[in-house]
A = this chain, B = another copy of it.
């Protein structure tokens, strides 16, 4: 699959990321372009099991129609079937800072990768991690050729994360998650502060924002503020017509 990004102003292939693993670079180059939309399936029933596969297919369809880069983050158990069904990027929702061995009940990078994931969310506000674990997971992801999408609660934490050199940072004020009040409109200064502080430390990391993103105009506002895409969950998963909303989002990235 080849995504061709049409947007004149915001499109950028994530080429220059200074990571060791060539594999990550290549995957990013081929599969992930900015602007991008990542759909977090969380543990919603509407996105569990067979429904996860159905929703992922809708995301792929919008990607094929619009050529806008879209990724999906299903539950661990669903990664295999989702990755088999679609060719757009699949992310795990979490990964543990472990090496293969005696770690019952933990999530191994190798298992996530073999299941078909291209990368993983890290430190989502619903699965917050110790600082040293975030660092360790980013390093493991890099070694295994997985893309790191690290979530951050506020501008200072985003800057802190930027120093650890993940490929992608997603700023999500937890108080807006799931509210339908879009961060890009309700708290634009959170986004602009994040971008300013992150860029002082890290010029290359892709910056997404999330929380309350429900309409195309929220996505457009997010990009105008300087982000390179959105991380979205209930706005798509809980939508009556996820296909329509996702298409609206994708088209809004072509501002």
Contacts and interface: CB of A to CB of B under 8 A. Distances in A.
Interface of A: 40, 42-45, 48-50, 73, 75-81, 93-94, 98, 100-108, 110-112, 114-115, 121, 123-132, 134-135, 152-154, 156-157, 159-165, 177-178, 197, 200-201, 233-234
Interface centre among A45, A101, A105 (most CB of B within 10 A): A105
A78 B48 contact: no
13 contacts: A42-B104, A49-B114, A75-B108, A77-B114, A94-B105, A104-B124, A104-B127, A105-B121, A105-B126, A106-B127, A130-B131, A135-B157, A200-B201
Contacts of A201: 159, 163, 200-201
Identify which of A106, A110, A112 gathers the most chain B CB atoms within 10 Å of its CB.
Answer: A106
Nearest to A124: B104
B102 A161 contact: no
Nearest to A95: B105
A196 to B, nearest CB: 12
B156 A107 contact: no
Given A73-B104, A135-B156, 10 more contacts: A43-B102, A48-B111, A77-B107, A93-B105, A128-B131, A131-B152, A135-B153, A156-B165, A160-B163, A200-B201
Nearest to A107: B76
Given A132-B128, A156-B163, A163-B156, A178 B48 contact: no
A104 B126 contact: yes
Contacts of A126: 102-106
Contact of A101 (B42, B93, B121, B197): B42
Nearest to A83: B77
A3 to B, nearest CB: 25
A213 to B, nearest CB: 14
Contact of A111 (B78, B112, B159): B78
Contacts of A103: 42-43, 126-127
B128 A130 contact: yes
A114 B48 contact: yes
A121 B110 CA distance: 21
Residue from A77, A102, A132 whose CB has the most chain B CB atoms within 10 Å = A77
B75 A42 contact: no
A150 to B, nearest CB: 9
Contacts of A81: 80
B154 A110 contact: no
